[in-house]
Amino acid sequence: MHTIAEKKTKGDILMKCNVDYIDEGFIASFYGSISMDDIHDVNGKLHGHVEFDDHHYQIFDFLNADLSNIVLSEPEEAASMDYFASRSSRSNVKVALIACGSHAIELCSSYIDESKSMGSPWLFGIFNSLTDAKSWVKS
């Protein structure tokens, strides 16, 4: 396991995002108020990581994050970026999104719907716990 990104400061707001590479996959855990730019920053770190082309899964944990600053149409850009990234990586990558609350789940669903409509070869799931997400990505 090695950490790719940790705490960072945006203006006066402390935002945490830990990204670890574990067992051929990435786990990104978000804390505090985040924006779509924060998610794009993490995606960029993943896409540029030396292990990206050979990874098997991605887990994005939003349970401790406040996603209220993200509007429903914003995940489309992340889906587009991931679609292009999927063309240079394994086709059987599993992407697990961990969320609770209607707005967070709607955002995750929007991302998945957009990804599928573009023809992404990756598999997607929404979960309410890290345990369930880990179980799914390793199955």
pTM of the model: 0.88
Q: Which residues pair with residue 124 across a beta bridge? A: 95
Listed as ranges, residues in the chain with pLDDT below 70 are: 1-15
Alpha helices per DSSP H over 5-88: 36-47, 75-86
pLDDT at res. 3: 54
Architecture of 2-137 per CATH?
A: 2-Layer Sandwich (3.30)
Q: How many residues in the chain?
A: 139
pLDDT at res. 70: 96
The answer to whether 33 and 2 are in contact (CB under 8 A) is no
Q: Residue 135 carries which side chain, given as an amino acid letter?
A: S
Domain definitions of the chain by residue range:
2-137
Sign of CA dihedral 35, 102, 30, 126: negative
Q: Tell me: the pLDDT tens digits for 92-119?
A: 899 999 999 999 999 999 999 999 999 9
